[in-house]
Amino acid sequence: MLNLAIVGLGRWGQNLVDSIESSQTVYFSTAVTRTPSKVSDFCVQKNISLTDDYQSVLDDDNIDAVVIATPHSLHFDQIMMAASAGKHVFCEKPFTLTADQAGTALASLSEQGLKVAIGHNRRFAPNTLALKNALRSNSLGQPIHIDGVFNANLGTSAGKWRDSRTESPAGGMTSLGIHVIDAFIHLFGKVSSVNAQSRRIAIDIDIDDSTLVRLNFENGCSGHLTTIAATNSFWQIRAFGTEGWAECTNLDKYVFHTMDKDPVLSNYSGFEYPGLLTIKSALESFATDIRGEAPFPISPEEIHHATAVLEAITISAKTGKKIEIANI
């Protein structure tokens, strides 16, 4: 089994640990956090050793890989340290905050012959897989347009690390919208340009809570992305083609509707939020890649491109201008 260290043991880090309790492929032996006293009971319960010394984990030859679930601004340095130590890296999104950082980190890992994966667990949801298959089989005809929404209440982040424009540029894009960006790339291919609008309307903390993005794809298709960071959680992707449309809602619902048939609704039990089964699939796929059996489904090139799109959205939101991804 692959021996993992979790770096960052907040709410999502604990979800990562919980997701693989029954796995026969991967396990967590060690946790790194800046505040061990806050999670000591959790680590005792999970039989995980606990430290605040990241370097000591990187120096441990028994640990095969690190899983990074720390504040966004820390990712780049932590990835670079892991690469220098010869550790494979699974990093939560966003991979880094700039395309230059992503390119440097990915190159460093590649030069060391190390594997890299990213925590876009929604790629592993059954409704996303169904939508990808519909597009691959041309069941929707020629793709035309894709809409994506990911909302959550970030107003509860007051006094926490997300409560800053460094960690949350363009509102919910780094926490929420980056998942939509990855889904768009997965389903419709590379993005060529973006035009974003972002502002604070309702929440008390100093980050935007309403971000809207128009996207153009290299294949000529269009897209629209929305994140509202001041309401309850909601995820939806809807793809339109010349023969119909299909829709993923949250992780467990799928609608397929072609012109000549009634809509078909599918519900997938066991995939309700936070989608531990999808997280488990992502971590086990990472292990499969390390063993050389099958590549992780999100390539380094896609990781880099998604980071460039995220950076372009941030720039567009600040300037009000259309940003070409090629210029990032």
Q: How high is the mean pLDDT of the chain? A: 96
- Average pLDDT of span 60-82: 98
| pLDDT for the residue numbered 230 | 94
On the question of pLDDT at 37 being above 80, the answer is yes
User: In which band, very low, low, confident or very high, does the pLDDT at 286 lie, cut at 50, 70 and 90?
Assistant: very high
Q: What is the pLDDT of residue 159?
A: 81
Residue 234: pLDDT band (50, 70, 90) is: very high
Report the pLDDT value the prediction gives residue 155, as an integer from 0 to 100: 82
Q: Which domains does the chain have, with CATH numbers?
A: 2-121 (3.40.50.720), 124-327 (3.30.360.10)
pLDDT of residue 36: 96
For residue 67, the tally of other CB atoms under 10 A from its CB is 26
Angle at 134 between CA 128 and CA 135, to 5 degrees: 95
The pLDDT of residue 250 is 97
pLDDT of residue 147 exceeding 80, the answer is yes
pLDDT digits (tens, 9 = 90+) for 170-202: 999 999 999 999 999 999 999 999 999 999 999
pLDDT in tens, 305-327: 999 999 999 999 999 999 999 99
Distance CA 177, CA 50 (A): 32
Supply the pTM of this predicted model.
Answer: 0.97
139, pLDDT greater than 90:
yes
CA distance 258 to 158: 45
Of the pLDDT bands very low, low, confident and very high (cuts 50, 70, 90), residue 19 is very high
Is pLDDT above 90 for 160? no
Quickly state the pLDDT bin for 161 (edges 50, 70, 90): confident
Query: Which residues does 321 contact at the CB level (< 8 Å), separation at least 6?
Result: 195, 315
Mean pLDDT of 86-107: 98
- Strand order across the 49-51 sheet: 49-51, 26-32, 2-7, 65-68, 88-91, 116-118
